[in-house]
Structure 1
């Protein structure tokens, strides 16, 4: 059934309350569809590689990598769920019903706030590693990082339930017609959300990384001024510092890219959508989603273990449990690298004894 103006309805049987179908020609929608679904597929594949690599290779079970694993999980769901669903919501009628609309919005809020929390944890991790390296191995442990990650996701789940509690009571109250997916947050809740999930975490991230940058520069200058190490311990200490500085630089790039993609996304909410038109707002949202595709590319550029893992990961070996050969190829490292990775005194003494016996490599 058509309307009096000749426009088709999303639900012709609901003539009085149905939304009108968008009038954008299919030829204009084809290119955005191809771009978004290609980006979605690439995001899913790349982040799945990160998830498999960190999960299955025990040598990658470090506190920092557990944070990257959690970030990869959120990026994976952005590519799998949010990218395709968002373009459907923006470009065509919403045929999935109000419950699916509510779930989609709720999940998108959870992933967004959890990603911000993980970025704060990454900044804290680098701050502890660079500014307090002596206490880092004892304070930043795998168990504590796992607990912090779980609390981050749990807080995000509970917080966003409170944020959309009005929609839970009366779903679809802000929809102007049937076939629209729109969820609005009241002024007080929206202001609180901006402070808690944008202003406060971004401020913490910037302050921590400014401190990391200052300390890293001073440490780099100190290392350049030092005489070439003679003892093994001094050599290992210098190499460890270089490794930590390199990790800080890599994660600094990760955080910077996140802020560049994330800040415009929240400008829509800060200004209530009045500054940007519909097309610009959509571009800003997908800029934030594009960050999920960029993160694994940053790993590929800066992390040798990820480049090697991409070549060696075989789904057949992973699911059959035959990962020993791949691990040997990916993690055949020298004793000095193992000394950097193994931080406690017991492991260092063991590896030093191996060196004294003339065995130059381990694992």
Structure 2
């Protein structure tokens, strides 16, 4: 599959590099459309950075939040933070009619989102595994999911993301610009089928399977305890409180899966359709930023569903964390 900014539109006018005969032609976009695109994309980038930074500060600062599960959330927030800080601004550059930063920077740009987005997805898989063990095997959870083991898996997650990304873009890194048809475009080539399977189908399948198992077990446990307590006290309100956290975890994971599918499905639908992805076209910018928008929605989900996050954000915003022993 080739991804880039190919020329050939009928509304093209001047050249990117007038002094070169091999220069690409500029894609002329209406001024209002360009301004609106810049404002929206910049706002999403800033919001993604801000929300994930709040998660990073919350988990890093407060000792009470130093748990294996929150360590996975911290790793996820770091990946999403890098997407907002580095990937989205570079994507805004790619909306320009021409690429002026050279072939090597072009390949490195694609390498960066590949690493960060894959790390984000892998962290979501690890979080689903963590919730699966916590709900389906709660007695052995403290011995199975320890802080040290989670740290090892987080490191392996990032190492795999880097290794996979370099392997996927190896031909492009070996000879940058080899797939460009003219001077002034940014085009790369990679195996789209492998990317869809390893980057999308396999991770989301694991997450969905584990989520369904978590949900079924949580519901069955809640019903079993409800029947037991009802037989003794003739009420079931106690059971609801006992399993409230487990059900909330299941709902959180379900929302994460739904958001992930909503954000990534349009991009992979375009990929599977066989159409060439023109990076500067408005439709491509939309599907790419929709995929990146998943990194903005992840902390929003935690903000709405986790009381500890809302409380820590309040302490951060009011600067109470600057006080001694905060």
Q: Same fold (TM over 0.5)?
A: yes
Deviation at 1:140, TM superposition (A): 0.8
Question: Is 1:213–2:219 an aligned residue pair?
Answer: no
CA distance in 1, matches of 2:285, 2:231: 55
- The match for 1:295 is 298
- The match for 1:27 is 32
Question: Is 1:225–2:224 an aligned residue pair?
Answer: no
Question: Is 1:10–2:16 an aligned residue pair?
Answer: yes
- The match for 1:173 is 178
Deviation at 1:274, TM superposition (A): 5.8
Aligned to 1:41, which of 19, 42, 46? 46
Alpha-carbon deviations, 1:135-160, whole Å to 9, x = none?
11110111111111110110111111
Secondary structure, counterpart of 2:129 in structure 1: helix
CA distance in 1, matches of 2:246, 2:252: 10
Aligned to 1:137, which of 139, 142, 165? 142
Deviation at 1:271, TM superposition (A): 3.0
- The match for 1:271 is 273
CA distance in 2, matches of 1:38, 1:12: 34
Alpha-carbon deviations, 1:2-47, whole Å to 9, x = none?
xxx993222223x212222221122221111101101111111111
Secondary structure, counterpart of 2:188 in structure 1: coil
Secondary structure, counterpart of 2:229 in structure 1: coil
Deviation at 1:229, TM superposition (A): 11
- The match for 1:73 is 78
- The match for 2:4 is none
- The match for 2:192 is 190
Higher relative contact order (CA 8 A, sep 6+): 2
Structure 1 residues 207 and 55: alpha-carbon distance in aligned structure 2, compared to 1, 3 A threshold: same
Q: Do the aligned partners of 2:17 and 2:184 also contact (CA within 8 Å) in 1?
A: yes
Q: Do the aligned partners of 1:130 and 1:245 also contact (CA within 8 Å) in 2?
A: no
Deviation at 1:214, TM superposition (A): 1.1
Unmatched 5+ residue regions in structure 2?
1-10
**Worse-superposed segment, 197-206 or 138-147:** 197-206
CA distance in 2, matches of 1:268, 1:40: 23
Q: Do the aligned partners of 2:59 and 2:70 also contact (CA within 8 Å) in 1?
A: yes
With normalisation by structure 1, the TM-score equals 0.78
Deviation at 1:287, TM superposition (A): 1.1
Question: Is 1:97–2:98 an aligned residue pair?
Answer: no
- The match for 2:8 is none
Q: Do the aligned partners of 2:12 and 2:26 also contact (CA within 8 Å) in 1?
A: no
Deviation at 1:279, TM superposition (A): 3.4
Structure 1 residues 306 and 138: alpha-carbon distance in aligned structure 2, compared to 1, 3 A threshold: same
CA distance in 1, matches of 2:228, 2:60: 39
**Worse-superposed segment, 260-269 or 23-32:** 260-269
CA distance in 1, matches of 2:157, 2:298: 20
Q: Do the aligned partners of 2:83 and 2:117 also contact (CA within 8 Å) in 1?
A: no
Deviation at 1:263, TM superposition (A): 2.6
Deviation at 1:122, TM superposition (A): 1.2
- The match for 1:312 is 315
CA distance in 1, matches of 2:207, 2:324: 37
**Worse-superposed segment, 280-289 or 236-245:** 236-245
CA distance in 2, matches of 1:222, 1:175: 63
> RMSD between aligned alpha carbons?
2.7
Q: Do the aligned partners of 2:114 and 2:165 also contact (CA within 8 Å) in 1?
A: yes
Deviation at 1:246, TM superposition (A): 1.8
Aligned to 1:282, which of 275, 281, 285? 285
**Worse-superposed segment, 308-317 or 101-110:** 308-317
Q: Do the aligned partners of 1:118 and 1:152 also contact (CA within 8 Å) in 2?
A: yes
